[in-house]
Amino acid sequence: MSGRDLPPFRKLSEFLSFLESEGDFQRFEAPVDIHLEATALHRKVIAKGGPALQLTAPRKGSKSDFLAPLLVNLFGTRKRIANGLGIRPDKLPELGEFLASLRSPQPPKSLREAYKLFPMAKAGLNTRPKRIGSNKALEPTDPDLCQLPVQTCWPDDAGPLITWGIVITRPPGADDPRTYNLGIYRMQVLGPKTAIIRWLPFRGGAQHYRKWQQKGDTMPVAIVIGCDPATLLSAVIPAPGDVSELALAGIFNDTPSRLAPCRTIEMHVPESAEIVLEGEIKPGEVALEGPFGDHTGYYNDAASYPVFHLNSMSLRKDPVYLSTFTGRAPDEPSVIGDAMTDIFRPILRQAIPEIVDVFLPPATCSYRFAVLKIDKSYPGQARRAMMGFWSLLPQFSMTKYVIAVDGDIDIRCWDDVMWAIATRSDPERDLLVLDRTPVDQLDFASPVEGLGGKLGIDATIKIGAETTRSFAEKLTMPAEVEARADALFAGLQATSPAGRHIQ
């Protein structure tokens, strides 16, 4: 990976200008209600592969004097996700290979190989964030969350929800950006200066929160709504090893992340921020969050999470408020998840070499279902691959169903996968069932919140000690016969009677 294909996007407006030049960004002047209507419109746009959409006249009932227009569907296509990382879509697998090399670099064997390592060395230099004195592009305003066009996405939602805020946290101690965690956590707005932050226990923000709780100290928190696209995407990409989100952003931007100090708390935020919320979480203070519509296609149960108190709010001149919705696919999380598969596939193959390819069907809430194509050479290998997959990344520990198939199966073709299950697996022998394992807390199918089962299906041809029977030979036609048949079929199409053309 030699670097970016596209010019640098130092802030969100530069990225939007690029998208506009590509015919991939549209401003919509008609008034759109942020209560349900914006989500309903967004769903229709993303289902058609439509552009990033700036709603210039958001309203809530009769209120329309918000501080910023509403930007939705920013990463609603694979192309815009790749562009946000500075590359064209066909370069996503190459980017994944590069990130895998950062995880386990190999020493050069020659001067030529050493020269090829220059991009990796440059990336290493870009991983350390750079602090600047101040950010003159941001101006403080009255801290009032109700002045932002915060959407209510679904009819039975508990209230307005900030959905694309980058929540920045750090552990107790000195302010060191190298220790920061950047995560996208939803925030239920309770009033002008309070909101609830919802994070799952294994997320970085929750881990920092527990450390502050143990000390009994107030936790500083900064939220960035809108910034340069690479930093936004870095907050949702599974990072290799211990590489931080800010380090990833530096790699994608081909320059170190520039951070400006907050006004009221000892923290720093990206210089490219559109809107910055500064505040704190007090020890032991929680509130009931939810229910909200979620990526499962259902409303999740209400549960208690920490309360965020807003101290300061700063905005860029002519800011935009970035938002999205979560629901049954297609939504932005499912599109991002599908594109991210290209990035983490090399990391997966590096850790488990027999895995040739992986597919997480977006329709199955992305990470809840995985199909693995493996290069099988010994008995039990499919089970090893499935257990290794569950253990590799925290996200994969939430995957309920894993199917392992042979290299001749097209894992993106459901007919092929079902054929492999039907003809290569036996329920008595080939089901790997685990119980009381971590699952998504939003999974209503699990008998206990946060704990449930997992099912692995070995749909590979059985070899060696796996079976006492020899497997049947697969039906195939000689290549030369297939080529001749293609020519004959083309002639058949050309001579078909009118109205009976063979498709």
Q: What is the mean pLDDT of the chain?
A: 91
Q: Coil, strand or helix: which one is 347?
A: helix
For domain 12-322, give its CATH number from 1.10.3720.10, 2.30.110.10, 3.90.79.10, 3.40.605.10. 2.30.110.10
Mean pLDDT value of segment 116-121: 48
Span 17-57, pLDDT tens digits: 999 999 999 999 999 999 999 999 999 999 999 999 999 99
Asked if pLDDT for residue 456 goes beyond 50, the answer is: yes
Asked if pLDDT for residue 114 goes beyond 90, the answer is: no
Residues of the chain with CATH 2.30.110.10: 12-322
Span 66-77, pLDDT tens digits: 999 999 999 999
Asked if pLDDT for residue 118 goes beyond 80, the answer is: no
Mean pLDDT value of segment 146-174: 97
Contacts 24+ apart (CB under 8 A), 172-180: 172/211, 172/212, 172/215, 172/217, 175/266, 175/267, 175/268, 177/129, 177/131, 177/246, 177/257, 177/259, 177/268, 178/128, 178/129, 178/244, 178/246, 180/244, 180/245, 180/246, 180/267
Q: Give the β-pairing of 258-261 and 130-131.
A: parallel
Residues of the chain with CATH 3.40.1670.10: 352-466
Identify the DSSP state of 494.
H
How many CB atoms sit inside 10 A of residue 4's CB? 16
How many CB atoms sit inside 10 A of residue 284's CB? 9
Q: CB–CB of 267/175 below 8 Å?
A: yes
Span 314-333, pLDDT tens digits: 999 999 999 999 999 999 99
Report residue 121: phi and psi, to 5°: -65, -40
pLDDT band at 219 (very low <50, low <70, confident <90, very high): very high
Type of residue at 307: V
Give the separation between CA 212 and CA 490, rounded to whole angstroms: 70
What integer pLDDT is reported at residue 123 of this predicted model?
60
What integer pLDDT is reported at residue 97 of this predicted model?
86
What integer pLDDT is reported at residue 113 of this predicted model?
45
Span 347-365, pLDDT tens digits: 889 889 999 999 999 888 8
Asked if pLDDT for residue 116 goes beyond 60, the answer is: no
Give the separation between CA 332 and CA 326, rounded to whole angstroms: 7
Tokens for 163, please give them.
């959905």
What integer pLDDT is reported at residue 498 of this predicted model?
61
What integer pLDDT is reported at residue 103 of this predicted model?
65
Percent of the chain topping pLDDT 70: 93
Give the separation between CA 24 and CA 16, rounded to whole angstroms: 9
Asked if pLDDT for residue 211 goes beyond 90, the answer is: yes
- Position with higher pLDDT, 444 vs 466: 466
DSSP-assigned letters across all residues of 382-447: HHHHHHHHHHHSGGGGG--EEEEE-TTS-TT-HHHHHHHHHHH--TTTSEEEEEEEE--TT-TTSS
Span 331-345, pLDDT tens digits: 999 999 899 888 888
DSSP-assigned letters across all residues of 253-278: HTSPPEEEE-SSSS-EEETT-SEEEE
* CATH fold group of domain 352-466: UbiD C-terminal domain-like (3.40.1670)
Span 250-294, pLDDT tens digits: 989 999 999 999 999 999 999 999 999 999 999 999 999 999 999
294 given a catalytic annotation: yes
Catalytic residue (one of 294, 331, 440, 458): 294
Q: How far apart are the first and last CA of the chain?
A: 41
Q: CB–CB of 15/6 below 8 Å?
A: no
